[in-house]
Homo-oligomer: A and B are copies of this chain.
Amino acid sequence: MSTESDTPQKEEEARQQLIDLAAEFYDQFAEGDVPRMTLPTRTKSNIEYDEDKDVWVYGDRTSTRSAKSVSGAEKLLKATYTIDFLAQQLEEDRSSTLRELYYLSESWDLEEAQFNSQDESNDLVEDLEIVSEVTREDFHMRPEESGATLMGPLQIREQTRRGEREIHCQEDVGEGGYQIPNNPDTIEFLDHDADFVLCVETGGMRDRLVENGFDEEYNVIVVHLKGQPARATRRITKRLHDELDLPVVVFTDGDPWSYRIYGSVAYGSIKSAHLSEYLATPEAEFVGIRPADIVEYDLPTDPLGDSDINALESELEDPRFQTEFWREQIELQLDIGKKAEQQALASRGLDFVTDTYLPERLTEMDVI
């Protein structure tokens, strides 16, 4: 998948890929074959960790949707109607949400082509992403909500429907920061004065870093992850790393769910294994909160619950966490039986995180 922000050309390519897909069905019909679509099998057992690229990818097994059965034929019919809609949307330079697609199908003339649930239309769009090798963003499909923000010494140009906007992500924005658009490939990086990118899980900590001027003092682009990050957030993080050659570090709560947030920034997710190369930043490093921090800084904690313990144990088996560092940290956490939030650092004062914790840790990690 292309990483350039050359939008009109991308739209045309996306449209062409979709039409080629529909043309395949046509050719299969013309040759007297039963139309079909072949996809990698999208089950957990067919997802592999690519040791070279450090991300999740699909394995070799494939499944075929064939018009031989009624349900297979209906799937292909729905795919054809969706391709038609998407191709038209791209031609008109419009966009829509996954939910709109679901509702819009009610206006299609053939009842068999209409979706029965939003899961069905969501899955189909993912199938089309995989088969066409075009991302949902390039189909102009928006998510329902995005809403993460960025703050730091970065000047961008965003291509909006109302023309270009040049925005400096510290000087031209309010305290809320720059709102990352649904498709960050509409952004061009014009200039920057950044030394690294810091992805932060919680809004409270993001606001603390901005209030304390951490982005200004250390020339850092602060990306708010807002819990499990949206695709747009992961995409812009990867582009900041790849295009501006900036180190990326991830700062979350100290619990197994937050380690998964780090994992989704760094290694991609099982759900979007087909997009790992587009979304994942395998070079991203984990800052904390580490179980060792809980001990070292005597942080206020909560006890691990059963689901925390299960999640930690399954991370011990997870290929993404098969490193000396993670094994040590996870075993330590199971041993002490505690977890801590980012904001627990406030127990040492509101400036502790920016005056002591982050500078020490980032020096140790060779980031500053």
Contacts and interface: CB of A to CB of B under 8 A. Distances in A.
A90 to B, nearest CB: 14
A350 interface: yes
Nearest to A144: B204
A296 interface: no
Contacts of A97: 204, 207-208, 343
Contacts of A203: 143-147
B174 A165 contact: yes
A122 to B, nearest CB: 13
Interface stretch (A14-22, A38-46, A102-110): A102-110
Nearest to A166: B172
A177 B179 contact: yes
A287 B176 CA distance: 29
A186 B300 CA distance: 33
Contact-residue size bin, chain A (C-beta under 8 Å from the other chain) = 35 or more
Contact of A103 (B173, B202, B347): B347
B179 A174 contact: yes
Interface in A155-208: 158, 160-162, 165, 167, 170-182, 186, 202-204, 207-208
A158 B174 contact: yes
Contact of A182 (B162, B167, B175): B175
A161 B170 CA distance: 11
A346 B103 contact: yes
A142 interface: yes
A341 interface: yes
Interface string A210-244: 01010010000000001000000000000000000
A99 interface: yes
Interface in A56-113: 94-97, 99-100, 103-104, 106-107
Given A100-B343, A343-B97, A173 B182 contact: no
A344 interface: yes
A303 interface: no
Contact of A181 (B158, B161, B175): B175
A100 B346 contact: yes
Contacts of A143: 203
A349 interface: yes
Nearest to A96: B350
A269 interface: no
Contacts of A207: 95, 97, 142, 182
A348 interface: yes
Contacts of A180: 176
B165 A173 contact: yes
15 contacts: A97-B343, A100-B343, A103-B300, A103-B344, A103-B347, A107-B347, A142-B207, A145-B203, A147-B176, A147-B203, A161-B175, A161-B213, A165-B173, A167-B174, A174-B179
Interface of A: 94-97, 99-100, 103-104, 106-107, 142-147, 149, 158, 160-162, 165, 167, 170-182, 186, 202-204, 207-208, 211, 213, 216, 226, 300, 341, 343-350
Given A142-B204, A158-B175, A172-B172, 16 more contacts: A95-B211, A99-B204, A99-B346, A100-B350, A103-B344, A104-B350, A106-B300, A146-B176, A146-B203, A147-B147, A147-B176, A147-B226, A158-B174, A173-B179, A176-B182, A177-B179
